[in-house]
Amino acid sequence: ILRFISNNEKKIFGISFEGFHAYGPSTENIDINSLKSFIEETRTKLIDYKNLLFTMPLLWRPDNVIHGIDLGFDLFSGAYVAYVSDRFIILTFQYNDKICSNTIRTEYNINSKEYANGKQSLLSDCKCYSCKNYTQAYIYHLIQTKELLGRTLITVHNLYHYHAFFEQIRESLKTNTWNEYRLMILKQYSIEEQEENYNGIEHSNANINKHSKISTNHVSPIANFQQSCEQKVLPVFPWFAIDIGGTLVKLVYFEPLDLTPDEIRTEGEILMNIRHYLTSNRAYGQDGFRDDALELTNIQLGGRRGNLHFIRFPTARMPNFIDLCIMRNLHTLTFEVFATGGGAYKFENDAVNKLKLRWCKCDELDSLIKGLSYLSKLNPNECFYYEEPQNDANPNKHTFKFDIENPFLLVNIGSGISILHVESETNYRRITGTSIGGGTFLGLCCLLTGCSSYDEAIKLATEGDSTKVDKLVRDIYGGDYERFGLPGHIVASSFGYMNLPERREQATKSDLARATLVTVLNNIGSISMMCAQTENVDRVLFSGSFLRINDLSMRILAYAMDYWSRGKVKAIFLEHEGYFSAVGCLREFIMDKNDLINTSQH
């Protein structure tokens, strides 16, 4: 090539790399990065010919276009549009952060019965002629009747979409946002390809000068991600983790305060946007809340200084949360999500397929212990107990100095119950559990009172009187049952009065909610007390979302444990109820990636 260029009197404008495939449809899926070494060597040897243009005849799928630009290609064929249009494929990949933000697929086949009655355009928000004037159903009908107009309208849309994609590429190169833009496109076409194909590609000075003014010191997010995994260094920001329980989703986010100049240049704008969105709101939609009272400020995590934020929303809203991430492009800010809880399995497919993320599942109990260990050491006021739990006016709350290295019982109250005997952060075992937990309380309250949320159920219980529903010892014996040391105010039969019609009429919704709460908590307290005696421990920690902002439940449990143990066993509670598994999961994301039980990726 060099000899030809130097000996040729005619002006040489560029080079076309050919002979690497047999043409035809298979060229759509060619691995362009397999040619990386040859292309880069050729480009290096032609460094003196800076004005040469590079091209290759391919069906340039959008992600391959991105890789092609990384390798220094200048000219791209538009044959891809004709190829996909002939197969009735509608391009829907997101080429702009303001347009088509509701899409979750890169393409779909309009020649499918599901679109026979489609009243929408080919793509929401698209301004092409086809989308402004025709519906999915109409174009589907044209295809079925073999009308040429059908394929023409598909081509019009795809050409518009593909052309707008290239316009956005040029804009990103002009505005020095190429790295962010390439990432947005690549994430839609599988993170697996990003990892395999990028391989630490460095934009050479010649290529950068041709295409943009992007600094050669900039390290791509993908390269940062690979480096963090391979060299076991801290991951790039943002740092967050999620615990998807049966009732609530808990999300923790670490906001860094000590960004380096390089981090400010490469990640600063993203992190500022996240911070603005988080801190400017306490509520997100109807059901999402940030527990700002629990925020931990100026803390150390993974050797970095920052603030730790705590956010929650109902698990039933998890599909809406995924859609919100897509709508606001939040899924483009990271390559992986560390998740724990049963929902980490339940929502895995949706997260992987829709968000195109690496989905890392962490063991729920491991995360719980790690989170508890971290927060109890970080926050000296994390643990507390009640001195007089039966005193409604002044239950007398005291801080408890907790040491995780001394054996204790951990009762995790979620939708169900798990009871662990913990000897250290790495040495624990599950003793037993029960299906009667927070989910039972909420489910029964919804049936009995018509309430629709956990907060509503707790509010009702706070206002109720369980003695109008439960049958007490004194209701049976007329007072205390002294032979067995049973005081008259102890429940003898939960819901024992509800077999009487007149009692059912007198019981209010609040009474029913209070009785339901007492029933569930008495069961939990009884099992916990027996386990403490069996394991010979005098400290019982109660944790879980069920106890979140639920002073009433804590005091009922505290009184039960204190009474039945004759003051020997303390019921200990925690300030950051419900968030420990998410915090432990965040610790795994930052420090312990090799200990994952499973990882999925798209």
- For 68-100, the three-class secondary structure string (H helix, E strand, C coil) is HHHHCCCECCCHHHHHHHHCCEEECCCCCCCCC
Q: Which of 390, 424, 413 is nearest to 528 (CA)?
A: 413
Supply the DSSP symbol for 220: P
Rounded CA-CA distance 398/572 in Å is 10
Q: Tell me which of 232 and 269 has the higher pLDDT.
A: 269
Per domain, the residue ranges of the chain are 12-211, 238-372+583-600, 383-454+514-574
Please compute the mean of the pLDDT values over residues 126-131 and round it to a whole number. 92
Residues 6+ apart with CB under 8 A from 83: 25, 28, 59
pLDDT at 3: 62
CA pseudo-torsion sign 463, 466, 467, 468: positive
Query: Cα-Cα-Cα-Cα dihedral of 129, 134, 138, 139, to 10°?
Result: 20
Cβ proximity of 106 and 92 under 8 Å: yes
Cβ proximity of 523 and 546 under 8 Å: no
H runs (alpha helix) in 231-305: 261-279
Residues 6+ apart with CB under 8 A from 499: none
Q: Which of 61, 40, 60, 53 is nearest to 202 (CA)?
A: 40
pLDDT exceeds 50 at position 194: no
**Chain-centre distance of CA 592, in angstroms?**
18
Rounded CA-CA distance 204/256 in Å is 32
Rounded CA-CA distance 290/279 in Å is 9
Please check whether the two domains, 238-372+583-600 and 383-454+514-574, share a CATH topology: yes
Please, what is the average pLDDT of the chain?
A: 80
pLDDT at 541: 94
pLDDT band at 437 (very low <50, low <70, confident <90, very high): very high
Collapsing DSSP states into helix, strand and coil, what is residue 49?
Answer: coil
Cβ proximity of 382 and 575 under 8 Å: yes
pLDDT at 25: 53
Q: In 206-280, which ranges are E strands?
A: 239-244, 248-256
Residues 6+ apart with CB under 8 A from 371: 579, 580, 581, 582, 583, 584, 585, 586, 587
Please compute the mean of the pLDDT values over residues 149-153 and round it to a whole number. 94
Q: Angle, nearest 10°, between helix axes 191-198 and 62-71?
A: 20
Query: 12-211 sits in which CATH class?
Result: alpha beta
Phi, psi of 35 (to 5 degrees): -95, 5
Rounded CA-CA distance 577/548 in Å is 5
pLDDT exceeds 50 at position 505: yes
For residue 108, what are the β-bridge partners? 90
- How is residue 102 written in tokens? 């509701």
**Chain-centre distance of CA 193, in angstroms?**
21
| First CA to last CA distance, the chain | 40
pLDDT at 334: 72
pLDDT exceeds 60 at position 220: no
Please compute the mean of the pLDDT values over residues 32-57 and round it to a whole number. 71
- How is residue 240 written in tokens? 């967050």
Cβ proximity of 315 and 336 under 8 Å: no
Residues belonging to the active site? 364
Q: Tell me which of 19 and 557 has the higher pLDDT.
A: 557
CA pseudo-torsion sign 388, 389, 393, 394: positive
Stated as kind and residue range, the H or E segment containing 448 is helix 438-449
pLDDT at 185: 85
pLDDT at 332: 66
* Number of residues assigned to the chain: 602
Rounded CA-CA distance 141/238 in Å is 47
Please compute the mean of the pLDDT values over residues 320-332 and round it to a whole number. 76
Highest mean pLDDT among 43-52, 65-74, 259-268, 493-502: 493-502
pLDDT at 321: 84
- For residue 61, the one-letter residue type is R
pLDDT band at 52 (very low <50, low <70, confident <90, very high): confident
pLDDT at 222: 37
pLDDT at 597: 39
In the CATH scheme, what architecture does the domain 383-454+514-574 have?
A: 2-Layer Sandwich (3.30)
**Chain-centre distance of CA 456, in angstroms?**
26
pLDDT at 308: 94
Report the predicted TM-score, pTM, of the whole model to 2 decimal places. 0.56
* b/e code 239-251 from CB counts within 10 Å (16+ = b): bbbbbbbbbbbbb
- How is residue 58 written in tokens? 């391919």
pLDDT band at 9 (very low <50, low <70, confident <90, very high): low
Please compute the mean of the pLDDT values over residues 310-315 and round it to a whole number. 90
Collapsing DSSP states into helix, strand and coil, what is residue 223?
Answer: helix
Cβ proximity of 109 and 122 under 8 Å: no
Distances (CA, A) of 47 to 55, 72, 386: 16, 12, 76
pLDDT exceeds 50 at position 472: yes
Q: Any idea what the Cα angle at residue 581 is, between residues 560 and 460, rounded to 5°?
A: 45
Strands 248-256, 304-314: pairing kind: antiparallel
- For residue 434, the one-letter residue type is T
Rounded CA-CA distance 202/223 in Å is 10
Q: Tell me which of 329 and 195 has the higher pLDDT.
A: 329
Q: Angle, nearest 10°, between helix axes 148-174 and 136-144?
A: 130
CATH number assigned to the domain with residue range 238-372+583-600, chosen from the 4 options 3.30.420.510, 3.40.50.300, 3.40.1190.10, 2.30.110.10: 3.30.420.510
pLDDT exceeds 90 at position 90: yes
Highest mean pLDDT among 16-20, 263-267, 328-332, 413-417: 413-417
pLDDT at 47: 59
pLDDT at 98: 55
